[in-house]
Amino acid sequence: MTLATDETENKEAQKKKPGNRKVQDRKGTVYTLTDKVGEGGQGMVCSTDLPGVLIKIQTDKNPSKRKEWARHIKWLMRQDFTGLNIARPLEIVARPPSVNGYIMELMDGLESLEQSLENSFIQLSENEDEPLQGFQSTGGLKRRLKLLAELARTLAGLHAKGLAYGDLSPANIFVSQSVEHHQIWLIDCDNICISERAGYGDVHTLGYAAPEIARGESGVNMSTDCWSFAVIAMKFLSHTHPFESGIAVEDGDPDVEMKRALEGELPWIYDEDDESNEWAGSGLPLDILTTKQIRGLFNQCFGPGKDDLSARPSMAAWADALDAACALIHGCCNPDCGISFIFNSDQTCPFCDTVQPRQNSVLLKHYLINDTGSPDEPRWIKTNEVQVINAGQRVDFHIGAVGTALYRESEKICTLELGHDGLILKPSKQGLISLQKTGDKKLLQIKRQHTLKSDTRSGNAFGLHLRMEDHSDFLSHPVWTFIW
């Protein structure tokens, strides 16, 4: 082999490296591709020499498909994604002409959910001494629920605009690298479409696509988004797949049973009426990671929703359930465990069986007080909303209840913090709060920071009344009851 041949091959190899390729958008901005971030059925996403700027490049060589894809990208650029964490196309690649792509922005400090899942799963399967180390190092249960709640809200917002995301998978979801944060962004949004996209089953991610897509009977739509989200939620929470992690797949012919699993011919692993594909024991049990409400949504999606698309829970229902679960997180006091868990009446950590000291938390239950004075209507109306405050934790209370869409949109009334000295109550500028001891008709209005001292904690029941400064138009007001 001659030196000239060597040099030619080296040049050809360099051309294939993303870091050696430059592209230019229609405004004349030049970008150097530095690394491949991800790759899917329609192309690859590359990082660039500009911070927070990514480029999606379509790899399909079919001229008609390239033209159709470019037209779709221009349509996406005209859509309003305000308030949604979606890395939308900002500009189109103009040069070289052979490159069909677009430019998008993504904040720094993110990694794909696929990478986070892989890191946690490796620890769970290979670290026999500390199998939960990977689960905890990626944020534990609390962060998982918060990330999933953010993802559900983003998808619910997209669906509210009449749009479906399309090929939803962990590779298209980016999350904060720091476990202290729970930012989520959707990238690779060129699958977003109105209603149902044609091209049945041609673009999907194996294991996350709805059964009707895997069978080639449907294009993507909002219902297929809801299915993919439920699969992602289950894998992220428990490292199990709703169908692939069952005994039928594990014990049978892997090729045959896997195909049946993906096409919806097997029952899901926690099916209440059919145990032929029950959970095979890998990953973590779902019941210790979820509330009854969330398990109901899983059952609805993977049970009746397997064949009936209308039975699948909406993304808004998922968002509310996940927000409500976040409010029930209890931190384990065992230093050798430290994993957060869903509050239970025994206050026992399901991961290490440690019983938590009662003084380490306060449980608040939500009611509405009917202010109309009508004798035909009940005075106290109990809701299902619950809030746990752990030692050292500060929680904002809004006029809307946690676990509902109204919570984020409503005014903040006060902040509660469980400190070493006691329970600290601090009203906001626009909030009016009053404390009432059970059996006492008198309400103590709290105008500035007030502390219920730790040494007064003797099992008395209290009600915390929340009102806004101008509440003349309200027919009811929320009350949070707790024992102190």
3-state secondary structure string, the chain? CCHHHHHHHHHHHHHHCHHHEEEEECCCCEEEEEEEEEEECCEEEEEECCCCEEEEEECCCCHHHHHHHHHHHHHHHCCCCCCCCECCCCEEEEECCCCEEEEEECCCCEEEHHHHHHHHHHHHHHCCCCCCHHHHHCCHHHHHHHHHHHHHHHHHHHHHCCEECCCCCHHHEEEECCCCCCCEEECCHHHCEECCCCCCCCCCCCCCCCHHHHCCCCCCCHHHHHHHHHHHHHHHHHCCCCCCCEHHHHHCCHHHHHHHHHCCCCCCCCCCCCCCCCECCCCCCHHHCCCHHHHHHHHHHHCHHHCCHHHCCCHHHHHHHHHHHHCCEECCCCCCCCCCEECCCCCECCCCCCECCHHHEEEEEEEEEECCCCCCCCCEEEEEEEEEEEECCEEEEECCCCCCHHHHHCCEEEEEEECCCEEEEEECCCEEEEEEECCCCCCEEECCCEEEEHHHCCCCEEEEEEEECCCCCCCEEEEEEEEC
pLDDT exceeds 80 at position 472 = no
Same domain as 94, residue 159: no
> Residue 329 corresponds to which tokens in the numbers above?
């997180």
Last residue of a domain, one of 105, 132, 163: 105
Task: Say if residue 7's pLDDT is above 60.
Answer: no
Whether residue 464 is contained in a domain is answered as: yes
Q: What are phi and psi of 443, to 5 degrees?
A: -105, 130
For residues 97 and 176, membership in a common domain is answered with: no
Residue with tokens 């779709």: 72
Residue 345 lies in a domain: no
The pLDDT, as a whole number, for residue 37 is 82
Query: Is residue 212 a part of any domain in this protein?
Result: yes
Res 16 pLDDT > 70: no
CATH code, domain carrying 300:
1.10.510.10
Are 27 and 143 in a shared domain?
A: no
Pick 406 or 457 by higher pLDDT. 457
What integer pLDDT is reported at residue 41 of this predicted model?
Answer: 64
Q: Higher model confidence: residue 404 or residue 253? A: 253
Residue 336 counted as domain residue: no
2 pLDDT above the threshold of 50: no
Look at residue 245 and tell me if it is in a domain: no
Domain that holds residue 191: 110-239+283-326
Cβ atoms of residues 389 and 343 within 8 Å: no
Is the pLDDT at 438 greater than 50, yes or no? Answer: yes
How far is it, in rounded angstroms, from Cα 364 to Cα 433? 15
CB 305 within 8 A of CB 312: yes
CA distances from 54 to 43, 47, 126 (A): 13, 5, 34
Residue 32 lies in a domain: yes
Q: Provide the phi-psi class of 162: left if phi over 0, else alpha when psi is between -120 and 50, else beta.
A: left
Residue 458: predicted pLDDT = 94
**174 found inside a domain:** yes
Q: Supply the CATH number for residue 445's domain.
A: 2.60.200
Query: Is the domain of 183 the same as that of 317?
Result: yes
- In whole angstroms, what is the distance from residue 237 CA to residue 317 CA? 18
- 123 and 196 belong to one structural domain: yes
- Regarding whether 128 and 97 lie in a shared domain, the answer is no
Is the domain of 370 the same as that of 231?
Answer: no
Peptide bond into 304 cis (omega under 30): no
Domain boundary residue, one of 326, 346, 378: 326
Which band of pLDDT confidence, cut at 50, 70 and 90, is reported for residue 300? very high
Give the model's confidence band at 338: pLDDT under 50 very low, under 70 low, under 90 confident, else very high: confident
Per-residue pLDDT of 352-361, as tens digits, reads 999 999 999 9
In this structure, the answer to whether residues 59 and 175 fall within a common structural domain is no
Rounded average pLDDT over 88-114: 91
Same domain (yes/no): 101, 170: no
Residues 61 and 78 in one domain: yes
Given a cut of 90, is residue 286 above it in pLDDT? yes
pLDDT band at 128 (very low <50, low <70, confident <90, very high): low
Note whether 95 and 115 are same-domain residues: no
Joined tokens for residue 105: 């922005």
pLDDT tens by residue, 344-381: 999 999 999 999 999 999 999 999 998 877 777 788 99
**Max alpha carbon distance in the chain (Å)?**
99
d(CA 206, CA 213): 10
| Cα–Cα dist 215/211, whole Å | 6
For residue 3, name the pLDDT band (cuts at 50, 70, 90). very low
* Per-residue pLDDT, 228: 97
Q: Is residue 406 part of a domain?
A: yes
How much is the pLDDT for 469? 82
Q: Which of 105, 133, 161 is the last residue of a domain?
A: 105
What's the whole-number average pLDDT of the chain? 89
pLDDT-derived band of residue 254, with 50, 70 and 90 as boundaries? Answer: confident
The band of 197, judged by pLDDT with boundaries at 50, 70 and 90, is low
The Cα–Cα gap between 398 and 277 comes to 44
Q: Is 190 in contact with 103 (CB distance < 8 Å)?
A: no
Please count the structural domains in the chain.
3
Average pLDDT, integer, range 184-198? 83
pLDDT value at residue 408: 77
One domain for residues 298 and 165: yes
